[in-house]
Amino acid sequence: MTDPHHLLHHIFGFSEFRGIQEAVVERTLSGHSTLAVMPTGAGKSLCYQLPAKAARGTGIVISPLIALMHDQVRSADALGIRAASLTSVTEDPRAVRDALRDGQLDLLYVAPERATTEGFSRLLQEAAIALFAIDEAHCVSEWGHDFRPDYRLLRPLLDEHREVPRLALTATADKRTREDILVQLGIPEDGLMVAGFDRPNIRYHVRPRDGIGSQVKALMRAEEGPGIVYATSRAATEKLAEQLTSATRPVLAYHAGLEPPVRARNQAAFVDSESMVMAATIAFGMGIDKPDVRFVAHAGIPKSIEAYYQETGRAGRDGDPSEAWLFWGAEDFARARRRIETEVEPDRRHGERERLNALAAFVEAATCRRAILLRHFGEEPPETCGNCDNCLNPPETIDVTEVARKLLSAAFRTEMRFGVAHLAAVLGGDDNEKVRQFGHHKLSVFGIMTAEELALVRPVARSLLARDALRADDYGGLSFGPAAKAILKGEASVVIAVPPKRARSRSRGEGD
Ligand code: ADP
Ligand code: ZN
């Protein structure tokens, strides 16, 4: 077997291992199984490429994305690593199988659907296997954000080769998902290796959305380098691109609905540009090598904290100061919660709700954003980082439990079908036509709020929606969510950051 450092220099051309790479490579070479949790860009591929090159036999790499597989084969080839993939588009699968049997391959990439077939199991019986690398290993866990049933079926194949070390790799797995991956893939607990998740050069900011076009424009004025603005739909990216059109820098849209040549052209233009802003769906960014992205903004909530970490992680790969901005609205949470209740299979709803609650706690927090992110990934960070909105400008907080209880009571008394504007009218004692029409001026909650309390109704409603104490229907009608009861009974309090003055944020947004 060749010395790992020697291979690191001669094959990869690197002088040092990074972070946990060395430990992972050594464990694998000594035949132990490992789960390596490493953020994007930390250098996961080397962790299996190097041992596969060093050891006798072929490294079998389970990878879910055929498109990425081909890229990986190409870049391994370029390093002089003998790699191939077996997919539906492999030109000469027989040649690949022969090469595997003859010990002519360092790496074989295969999708889980194929790896779990009987034919593949028979093929491996005839080959010498150096290791199993399971990429995107969070897909094996129902707790993960991207569960794929085929991953669950890998275990028998792995168990047919008990002496072969397993190396599971993922960039995004919270504590519970990690534990599950270990169990599912039969990796011992002491095989868990976690790289540091902190990206100290990224400054995190979270703001309620209040005119997204002008909010992002303000950001574009402050940050002149390339940036990505994530929107949640194709239409939204196009609209944003239009709103952001600027005389001084190029703005393009990117989403899966564009013709492939247009997509490729926009992506190439972005990679080459020093000032372009791309309004994109999350389809954009994966596998793009652009170290100098100066900001990543989200025009709506991401799917989870894991997704947020991964998407913002595309900023500042070069280590220079970079910005991550998240603009959110209560309707984002309302929509996400409705999706969970209507589109997610029942036995997965609980996990999805918890993921959304964690995200809500993050956007609502008045404490260090980085600390929340890092704790989510199992680290024990300092209480403050000095480089996020809440550390730089500690928000004043205000206990709004009483306002929340009054708002919940009003929703209850009006039979849980009216929106926040109507509830505010009732609570403020505004006997307008609609209030009279429904007889709501006769309710006990009519006119029970002071002017100061009324000013807080919207931020409080946003907070209650985020934490699932209120739910909104398609028309904005508010009803109780499971967290309402504890607040009404006085068992839970509601504390929010004092909302920024609208006037101030408006004028800053428009730059006058
Ligand atoms: P990941 O899959 O974890 O996102 P990659 O394996 O694609 O990351 O590696 C990210 C980049 O880091 C690649 O350009 C790779 O060549 C580089 N890299 C990996 N290991 C090292 C190292 N030890 N020293 C310097 N660069 C490295
Ligand atoms: Zn901080």
Which ligand sits closest to the CA of 389? 2
DSSP states of 185-253 = HT--GGGEEE-----TTEEEEEEE-S-HHHHHHHHHHH--S-EEEE-SSHHHHHHHHHHH--SSS-EEE
- Picking from 263, 326, 249, the residue whose alpha carbon sits closest to that of residue 295 is 326
Q: 275-300 b/e with 16+ CB inside 10 Å = b?
A: bbbbbbbbebbeeeebeebbbbbbbb
Predicted local distance difference test score (pLDDT) of residue 181: 96
Quick one: 416 exposed, middle or buried, by C-beta within 10 A (0-12, 13-18, 19+)? middle
Predicted local distance difference test score (pLDDT) of residue 77: 93
Alpha-carbon dihedral 137, 317, 372, 328, rounded to 10 degrees: -100
Distance in angstroms (rounded) separating the CA atoms of residues 421 and 233: 27
> What residues pair up with 59 in beta bridges, in sequence order?
107, 131
CA–centroid distance, 243 to ligand 2, in Å, is: 31
Q: Whose CA is nearest to atom 25 of ligand 1?
A: 14
Predicted local distance difference test score (pLDDT) of residue 500: 64
CA–centroid distance, 41 to ligand 1, in Å, is: 6
For tokens 């793009």, the residue is: 288
Copy the structure tokens of residue 474.
Answer: 């398609």
Distance in angstroms (rounded) separating the CA atoms of residues 162 and 274: 50
Write down the pTM of the prediction: 0.71
Q: Specify the amino acid at residue 241.
A: A
Look at residue 183 and tell me whether its pLDDT is greater than 80. Answer: yes
Distance in angstroms (rounded) separating the CA atoms of residues 51 and 25: 6
Look at residue 507 and tell me whether its pLDDT is greater than 60. Answer: no
DSSP states of 46-69 = HHHHHHHHHSSSEEEEE-S-HHHH
CA–centroid distance, 384 to ligand 2, in Å, is: 5
Q: Whose CA is nearest to atom 13 of ligand 1?
A: 43
Q: Specify the amino acid at residue 506.
A: R
Q: Specify the amino acid at residue 232.
A: T
Distance in angstroms (rounded) separating the CA atoms of residues 506 and 182: 49
Q: What is the mean pLDDT of the chain?
A: 92
Is the CB of residue 120 below 6 angstroms from any atom belonging to ligand 1? no
Copy the structure tokens of residue 512.
Answer: 């006058």
Predicted local distance difference test score (pLDDT) of residue 399: 95
CA–centroid distance, 40 to ligand 1, in Å, is: 9
Question: Which residue among 5, 10, 14, 170 is best mutated to probe the pocket of ligand 1, counting the most ligand atoms within 8 A of its Cβ?
Answer: 14
pLDDT > 90 in the chain, percent = 76
Is the CB of residue 46 below 6 angstroms from any atom belonging to ligand 1? yes
In which band, very low, low, confident or very high, does the pLDDT at 505 lie, cut at 50, 70 and 90? very low
- Picking from 380, 420, 427, 385, the residue whose alpha carbon sits closest to that of residue 406 is 427
Residue 14: partners with Cβ closer than 8 Å, 6 or more residues away: 8, 46
∠ CA(369), CA(372), CA(377), 5° rounding?
Answer: 130
Predicted local distance difference test score (pLDDT) of residue 229: 98
Q: Are 95 and 143 in contact (CB under 8 A)?
A: no
Which ligand sits closest to the CA of 13? 1
Look at residue 317 and tell me whether its pLDDT is greater than 90. Answer: no
DSSP annotation of 10 reads: I
Taking the CA of residue 18 as reference, the ligand 1 atom at the shortest distance is: 23
Which ligand sits closest to the CA of 78? 1
Q: Whose CA is nearest to atom 19 of ligand 1?
A: 43
Per residue, the 3-state secondary structure of 74-94, as one string, reads HHHHHCCCCEEEECCCCCCHH
In which band, very low, low, confident or very high, does the pLDDT at 502 lie, cut at 50, 70 and 90? very low
CA–centroid distance, 502 to ligand 2, in Å, is: 24
pLDDT 10s digits, 11-63: 999 888 988 999 999 999 999 999 999 987 788 999 999 999 999 999 999 99
CA–centroid distance, 284 to ligand 1, in Å, is: 20
Q: Whose CA is nearest to atom 26 of ligand 1?
A: 14
Quick one: 497 exposed, middle or buried, by C-beta within 10 A (0-12, 13-18, 19+)? buried
Is the CB of residue 45 below 6 angstroms from any atom belonging to ligand 1? yes
Is the CB of residue 387 below 6 angstroms from any atom belonging to ligand 1? no
Is the CB of residue 40 below 6 angstroms from any atom belonging to ligand 1? yes
Predicted local distance difference test score (pLDDT) of residue 259: 94
pLDDT 10s digits, 342-396: 999 998 888 888 889 889 989 989 989 999 999 888 788 898 999 999 999 999 9
Predicted local distance difference test score (pLDDT) of residue 291: 86
Residue 311: partners with Cβ closer than 8 Å, 6 or more residues away: 230, 282, 285, 296, 298, 302
Is the CB of residue 409 below 6 angstroms from any atom belonging to ligand 1? no
Question: Which residue among 5, 10, 11, 46 is best mutated to probe the pocket of ligand 1, counting the most ligand atoms within 8 A of its Cβ?
Answer: 46
Q: Specify the amino acid at residue 378.
A: G
Question: Which residue among 9, 12, 172 is best mutated to probe the pocket of ligand 1, counting the most ligand atoms within 8 A of its Cβ?
Answer: 12
Is the CB of residue 170 below 6 angstroms from any atom belonging to ligand 1? no
- CA 190 to centroid of chain Cα atoms: 27
Q: Are 66 and 72 in contact (CB under 8 A)?
A: no
Is the CB of residue 18 below 6 angstroms from any atom belonging to ligand 1? yes
pLDDT 10s digits, 478-487: 999 988 999 9
pLDDT 10s digits, 196-210: 889 999 999 999 999
pLDDT 10s digits, 114-156: 999 999 999 999 999 999 999 999 999 988 778 899 999 999 9
Question: Coil, strand, or helix at residue 441?
Answer: helix
Residue that wins the pLDDT comparison between 248 and 500: 248
- The beta-strand segments (E) located in 393-490 are 397-399, 470-472, 478-480
Distance in angstroms (rounded) separating the CA atoms of residues 445 and 453: 13
- Half-sphere exposure of residue 24, counting CA atoms within 13 Å on the CB side? 30
Look at residue 503 and tell me whether its pLDDT is greater than 70. Answer: no
Q: Are 473 and 417 in contact (CB under 8 A)?
A: yes
Predicted local distance difference test score (pLDDT) of residue 504: 39
Average pLDDT over residues 167-175: 89
